[in-house]
């Protein structure tokens, strides 16, 4: 079986062309082993590209633990780049993911722009005093750090605090992803973000649905579309239209999506 490895700002995925439907998606131990960084290929998740009537393709995403997951923004952008690599699409596409249809396009410089779902206004999270929660295709808890706070985002215990919030009973039974954000002195500057991802059960270098949630929540703190987000793996950008009721439409996630290597299992 042929595989390909893709990454989007350090969020990496095992990509498999499964249009022939030869991959056993029920074999969770196999998926987890392929994503293992010591005994497998190593990735934050595994993605199957499949045929789908009325769409250019379907994206089927699994977390690194082998379980089916909710939407993955960087994974979606990488799947678009993979589909173009396979010659299935040109510079524009419409595909199906677990949260519904998505439009996307590949810019001349290789940037992949992915249209996300419409998102309701941020709500107050049950955990944390000033934290908020949004669902951008995946659930996201967001904690903003004031620049005067200690520790800084660079020194923050993302794993420990993220793990506790991810498993807090307020988010039972599915849990949530957790984002920690440093508020920049100028809202026009890039907003630094670090994310603890469920399913990976650790910090990842970047999270597409996470930075989307952060950008939308940051609009309550002075950020104006398009918002720049600085992850550990690179910079992403989120643009959106905010409606009178506080909800968001025309949400686009943009950034690089790169093929790293390919091989045979």
Question: What SS3 string covers 178-209?
Answer: EEEEECCCCCCCCEEEEEEECCCCEEECCCHH
Strand partners, 197: 202
Is residue 78 flagged as an active site residue?
A: no
> Among 207, 214, 216, 236, which one carries the catalytic annotation?
207
Question: Considering Cα of 55, then 17, then 201, then 233, what sign does the dihedral take?
Answer: negative
Q: Does the annotation place 179 within a ligand binding site? A: no
Which residues pair with residue 259 across a beta bridge?
Answer: 6
Contact criterion met (CB below 8 Å) for 132 and 205: no
Q: Which of 48, 72, 104, 181 is catalytic?
A: 72
Annotated ligand binding at 105? The verdict is: no
**74 annotated as a binding-site residue:** yes
| Residues 68, 71, 72: CA angle, nearest 5 degrees | 100
Asked about 72 being catalytic, the answer comes back as yes
| 11 in a known ligand binding site | yes
In what helix (H) or strand (E) does residue 143 lie, and over which residues does it extend? Answer: strand 139-145
Per the annotation, does 202 bind a ligand? no
Q: Give helix 208-218 / helix 73-85 axis angle, nearest 10°.
A: 130
Within the chain, residue ranges assigned H as helices are 28-35, 73-85, 158-166, 208-218
User: Is the separation of the CB atoms in 197 and 205 below 8 Å?
Assistant: no
Please, which residues have CB within 8 angstroms of residue 103's CB and are 6 or more apart in sequence? 92, 93, 94, 114, 115
Look-up: residue for tokens 């249209």? Answer: 115
Binding-site residues for substrate: 11, 63, 73-74, 177, 197-198, 208-209
Kindly list the catalytic residues: 72, 207
Binding-site residues: 11, 63, 73-74, 177, 197-198, 208-209
């Amino acid at each position: 079986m042929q595989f390909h490895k893709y990454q989007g700002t350090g969020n990496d995925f095992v990509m498999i062309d499964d249009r022939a439907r030869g991959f056993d998606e029920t074999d969770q131990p196999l998926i987890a082993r392929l994503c293992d960084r010591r005994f497998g290929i190593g990735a934050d998740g595994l993605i199957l590209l499949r045929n789908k009537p009325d769409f250019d393709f379907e994206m089927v995403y699994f977390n690194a633990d082998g379980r089916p997951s909710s939407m993955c923004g960087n994974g979606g952008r990488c799947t678009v780049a993979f589909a173009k690599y396979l010659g299935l699409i040109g510079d524009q596409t419409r595909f199906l993911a677990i949260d519904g249809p998505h439009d996307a396009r590949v810019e001349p410089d290789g940037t992949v722009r992915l249209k996300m779902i419409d998102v309701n206004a941020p709500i107050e999270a049950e955990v944390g005093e000033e934290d908020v929660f949004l669902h951008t295709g995946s659930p996201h808890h967001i904690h903003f750090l004031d620049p005067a706070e200690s520790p800084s985002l660079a020194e923050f215990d993302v794993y420990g605090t993220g793990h506790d919030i991810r498993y807090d009973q307020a988010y039972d039974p599915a849990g949530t992803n957790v984002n920690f954000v440093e508020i920049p002195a100028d809202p026009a500057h890039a907003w630094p973000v670090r994310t603890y991802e469920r399913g990976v059960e650790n910090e990842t270098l970047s999270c597409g649905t996470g930075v989307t949630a952060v950008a939308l929540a940051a609009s309550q703190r002075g950020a104006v579309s398009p918002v720049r987000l600085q992850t550990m793996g690179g910079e992403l950008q989120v643009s959106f239209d905010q409606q009178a009721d506080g909800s968001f439409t025309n949400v686009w996630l943009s950034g690089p999506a790169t093929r790293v290597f390919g091989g045979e299992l």
